Amino acid sequence: AFVLLRQKIGASLFDEIAQEKLIPVSGDIISPDISISLADREHLIEHVHIVLHCAAALNHNERLDLALETNTLGTLRMMDLADECKHMEAFVYCSLAYTDPNLPNGHIQERVYPMKVGDPEDLFEEIVNLELQDIPKMTQRVLQQYPNTYTFTKALTEHLIMKRVDINRVEEAQGGKAQWPIAIIRATQVGAAAFEPLPGWVDGVTGANGIFHLMSKGIQVIPSDRSRSKANIIPVDYFVRVALSAASTMSPPGYKFILPYNEILSDQDHDSILLPNVQYFPLIYQLSLPTISWREIYEAIRSYWTPLRSLPTADAYFGRFFKLFQRTTQDRTTELAQRACESLQPFLKPQWILDAPNLDALRQDAEFGLQRFTTMDWHTFTVHAALGLHLLNNAPSGSRRTTADEGWLCALRATPQQQHPIIDRPIESVVFSGLDISKRTERMMNELVSFLENPRRPSKTADQWLVDFDGLLDDWCHDDSQRLVSKMDMRHLGAWFNGTKEEHVRVQVLNDPGVGHCIKQIIKSSNVPQKTVVGEAQKILERMQERTQLHYIWSAGALLHSLFDRLFTNLLVSEHDLERIRAECENKRVVYVPVCKTVMDSLLLWYVCLRHRLPLPAIACDEALAFLGPMSDLLRITGAYFVRRDHSARSPLSTAVTAAYTKVLLNQGAISMMIERARSRTGRLQNVYHDGLLQMVMEEPNMVFVPVHITYEKVPELRCLIDQVLDQRPKSVHAPSTGFLRPSVAVADREAKTNKYGRVFVAFGQAVHAQTCVHEASLSENKRQSDIPVKDEDLVANYVAKRIQREQYEASIVSPVALAAAVLLYGRMTSGTTFQTLQQQMSWLHQELKEKSIRVDWQSDQEDAETILHYSLQLLDTRNLIIEGKRMTDESIVRVVEHTDNVMDLSYMASPLIELFLPEALFAVVYLSQNKRSRKELLDQFTFLVRLFKHEFVYPWNRQEKFNVLLEWFLKRGLLVIDEEGQYAKQECADSERVSLLASFIYPTLDAYWITSCSLSALRDLPYMPRKIVPVLAQWIAAHLITGRRTIYREVLSTEASQNAVDNFLAIGFIEAVHPKTKLSPEAQILLIELGVTTNEDLVTVSTEKRQDDTIDLPDIASLCHEIEKYRLVSDSLSHNAQVFDKCQNQIRSILRAEQSYASKHGMKLVKEEDQMIQLVYSLKAANTVDEGKHSRRISQAYNLKS
């Protein structure tokens, strides 16, 4: 808490306040003079205005004389000191609401109740004068009325305060010293903080915290018959605010007041609480907030601990025979908690109502901020308290709250008020028991998670999955709970709510004008009978048509809830986003467009829509997704329909039927579709893939596109995606065990159940109105704005898609894991980064994102940088990091393990951040490349990099506008200065390190493009080569350059970046694509097919035509290589550039020279150029097929080329 406060107000101001305002004074309240020095006493007398007396002996079973010494005499001594203070304005005494368990049920007034043990003054004198041997007898007398010595001494102290006030009143009436204000604050059970200094802050296991602590260990502390009674817990910050508020509002009472003793006013009006217009003094404030039951508290605590440890259900916890503290004490904290809970037991059964008119008066003043405590969410409070206690008891570094922040909803950790009436309730089966259902769900979750993490692994439980899947659907179709009978809140389900018939859909599709026109064209052109063509149209419709129903929809929702709960800690969506989307989509046709990162994107969106009552979409999927085993089954029951997205492979009839069916679904509710070709293997936005689906719907009236951005902290399919990026085969799943020791079943199950993929955020961008956007696209100034060549028929759709992507970009939410990954990768430039530097750089990036109005999952006012860093490192897998030293300190060095897989993992996680800082990163690269240049040169260089990467990144911003903003930013921060000649000169300053950090975001991609251009040196010896083989060749060259320390970035091994580079070189015009059948002999084509290169895949050759893109004025690919080199992190002379380019060419030539070529081995005689090209393909293919027993994932070892 203090760390965050120091960060918030600044270190210097914090230290100044701490030194000037916080003055520690050594003392002891059990000493007659409180054991303070004469100087300290004089200082207190001169400067103290308010006394808040909270000191007490917390051992509730303390020996009677010692308890009296601390709790009663200590208070009286503090009042003596207050009497001496010259400017005394208020004395606040902290007491108890629960002292006498024998009070009858009903109202407890703001009064001091009589002590049935005897007269308070007589008792006090008697105990003070007791001999040691008489103390047990007196204690026994006290315990007949009070449960312990603590409550007795607290009650006695209140009476003695009253006696003292009465004496002071007489003295004041006789002209003596005036009585200063006194308040007695009575609290029930003080618990964790609700808001300040942090939600869930605790500093011990006293009061309610002790109960929470024992509950978190499964120790029963509440009798079963009290489980549904209300817990009366006071957040500690509420207590503090009341104490401070009372002190600030009190005034001297004078001597005309009534002591608030509990006296019956009359026989007829014995229930009256206060006389009107009469001043009572001292003021008593009774704090009580009975709003949540003990059972609900336990459920909340259990929800926090479930991912970490197994706790019994509430029924099992409260259902067993109650035996107080039956578990043997194992640590001192638990022992203290048990003592605190034992002292509270007598007060759990009575049902009292604490009257609080004095407190109500304070609540009326909004300045005191007391009202929000009466409306706060107690489930969230309890979960925060569980975290606070976990942190108090040495929780792992990086522990964060599992509840949603204010303004957010969590689908997986919903509060009782937010729980869904259908999805969050267990299914009731007419066949299977609850245990059977639990085991079935566990098997299904294991199958789904296993598939997501390794989709290529053959499943041995596929048959069991089908049995379980059928059982699940059958249970939902015959659910006895009757929860699906009421359909009042199901109108967002669209067609599935109305129960549309398949025959009706078929008629609508076949009667669509587009389908009818296509059928006529086919009949006219091919003389095929109409019945045959119509039958083919029906077959196409049957193949793609969704076949779910209402019961299946809810079963899919429940299954997805279990799956996401297994994978993720939280699934969060903004309440503001939901409200806005509901308003924008009201009475509209809706098309959701989520980003495409994983196979779960559409399912996550679908689940959020189902849970939060947004229009539920039918999911448009590629046909390939129909063969993904358990995921395909799950997609089918969500209402997915499968279409052939490849426009070239789709017949005109198939296109017409797809368009007609999509329109039918859109008219009935909503649909969800992707605008990218496939899931992103880099984690970034991709260029638009024009499959025709967008054109099918964008002309529909009254229609809106809803852009959706999904942020993962860690992706379950990451291992598979990295294998694809590196063009590698996964490790064999049949590899024999190399040792005899295996983890136990319990350990394996615990690992499987861990929410190891962190948080997921589903964010909705501003809705794009189709008709407005289509009209804008038709305007002349908006035509041909795309950076990527687009066909004329796709221009309007491309404009609409770019608008959607811009909103996806604006809706981005950044995870702190991305910040940590980016900074760790930057640390490679300096062989590691200290913990302190990591925190500082992450904090700076966070601040820059806030200035961009980009949402970041980091509550800087409640979470410090150290916690966020440790949390991020847990998700990044610390096994892939080297942390120097036995203890983690600010100066500990953290280095990335230079393993290709690990680097690619970090690169993937950092990619969302790179996307958001892309213009800054490009400008930073330009800035670092030279010392001085003109504004035009800066713009030209910035433009060169923007054009160079136009196939690599999506640019939802204007190049010229961004350049102007960035130039101003660099000038403002003193990174650039304008000299006398008007040149912009580089200048070192405090932000120079941050510029290097920004540039590091793009350096790996720059090196990948440089290496790809080097690989194209092969075209000096070969007239052409397969386009497909260029990324593999670039990867081989990259492995050699890494070995030779020509680049420090292992990201250059990515075939994705190389492929994008080839696409861009083709677009710029340095190379061109030709069809193999126009250039190669039949024999060469046959050999390519044998090597896995089909004749439908283009060849690339040096371009002989004049380039249309004249913005990059370079003569050839070698010149482009040299130009890129100028911007790299290590830049040498042009001669060195040429040397690298030539060396790459010589390395490639070494492959081409073989004693016996691949073609000759197969008995084919080819011309030299074809023979060398085939040899190159064979060598690269053979090198990429390595023995699985070796470390094939280390690519630098994999390329052991065969000739």
What secondary structure letter does DSSP report for 644? Answer: -
Taking a C-beta distance cutoff of 8 angstroms, is the pair 99, 147 a contact? no
**H-helix or E-strand containing 896?**
strand 893-896
Nearest Cα neighbor of 239 from 267, 201, 205 is 201
Pseudo-torsion of CA 691, 692, 694, 699, nearest 10°?
A: 170
Q: Return the pLDDT at 1187.
A: 46
Contacts of residue 295, defined as CB under 8 A and 6 or more positions apart, other chains included, come to: 227, 228, 314, 318
Distance CA(736)–CA(330), nearest Å, equals 42
Query: By C-alpha distance, which of 398, 387, 384 is closest to 868?
Result: 398
Residue in 1053, 1031, 794, 785 with CA at minimum distance from that of residue 900: 1053
Residue 1014 three-state SS: helix
Name the nearest CA neighbour of 395 among 195, 233, 200. Answer: 200
DSSP state string for 1083-1143 = HHHHHHHHTT--TTSPEEEE--SPPS-TTS--SSHHHHHHHHHTTSSS---HHHHHHHHHH
List Cα–Cα distances, 731 to 344, 628, 723, 1052, 1188, in angstroms.
Answer: 59, 20, 10, 22, 7
Residues 322 and 944: their CA atoms lie apart, in Å, by 76
Question: Is residue 138 within 8 Å of residue 130, measured between CB atoms?
Answer: yes
pLDDT (0 to 100) of residue 784 = 54
| Residue 208 three-state SS | helix
H/E segment holding residue 293? strand 290-293
Using CA atoms, how far apart are residues 112 and 842, in angstroms rounded to an integer? 56
* Structure confidence by residue, pLDDT tens digits, 477-488: 887 666 676 666
**Side-chain half-sphere of 87: how many Cα atoms within 13 Å?**
8
Q: Which two tokens stand for residue 877?
A: 């897998």
Find all residues with CB under 8 Å of 286, minimum gap 6, and list them: 97, 108, 110, 186, 354, 355, 356, 358, 359
pLDDT value of position 160? 94
Distance from C-alpha of 98 to C-alpha of 344, rounded to nearest angstrom: 9
Q: Structure pTM?
A: 0.88
Query: What is d(CA 109, CA 272) in angstroms, rounded to the nearest whole number?
Result: 9
pLDDT digit string (tens) for 360-417? Answer: 999 998 889 899 998 888 999 999 999 999 988 877 777 888 888 888 999 888 888 8
Residues 6+ apart with CB under 8 A from 419: none
Please state whether beta strands 813-814 and 881-883 pair in parallel, antiparallel, or not at all (unpaired). unpaired
DSSP 3-state of 50: strand
Could you tell me the strand order of the sheet in which 833-834 lies? 833-834, 893-896, 881-883
Please count the other Cβ atoms lying within 10 Å of the Cβ belonging to residue 323: 8
- Calculate the alpha carbon distances from 913 to 92, 846, 917, 1057, 1151 in Å: 52, 10, 6, 17, 40
Burial class from Cβ neighbours inside 10 Å (0-12, 13-18, 19+) for residue 418 reads middle
Beta-carbon neighbour count of residue 791 at 10 Å? 9
Place of tokens 């489930």: 379
Predicted pLDDT of residue 669: 85
Q: Is 710:773 a contact under the CB 8 Å cutoff?
A: no
| End-to-end CA gap in the chain | 65
The dihedral built from the CA positions of residue 264, 265, 266 and 268, taken in this order, carries a sign that is negative
- Lookup: tokens for 763: 């964010």
Element (H, E) at 19: helix 11-21
The pLDDT assigned to 991 comes to 84
Q: How many other CB atoms are found less than 10 A from the CB of residue 1044?
A: 10
State the alpha helices, DSSP H only, in 320-356.
332-344
**Which ranges of the chain have pLDDT less than 50?**
264-272, 327, 732-753, 1131, 1133-1135, 1187-1203
Among the listed residues 1115, 1120, 1113, 1096, the one whose alpha carbon sits nearest the alpha carbon of residue 1104: 1115
Which string of DSSP letters, residue by residue, matches 1019-1036? GGT-S-EEGGGHHHHHHH
Separation between Cα atoms, residue 883 and residue 440, nearest integer Å: 42
User: CA angle, 1100 as apex, 1094 and 1101 as ends, to 5°?
Assistant: 140
Please give the C-alpha separations between residue 1015 and each of 417, 835, 910, 1032, 1041, in angstroms, as whole numbers.
Answer: 61, 39, 27, 9, 12
CB 25 within 8 A of CB 42: no
Domains and CATH numbers, the chain: 23-392 (3.40.50.720), 491-501+542-730+743-810 (3.40.1130), 812-910 (1.10.10), 917-1000 (1.10.10.10), 1002-1198 (no CATH)
User: In which element (H, E) is residue 141 found?
Assistant: helix 135-143
Per-residue confidence (pLDDT) for residue 655, from 0 to 100: 92
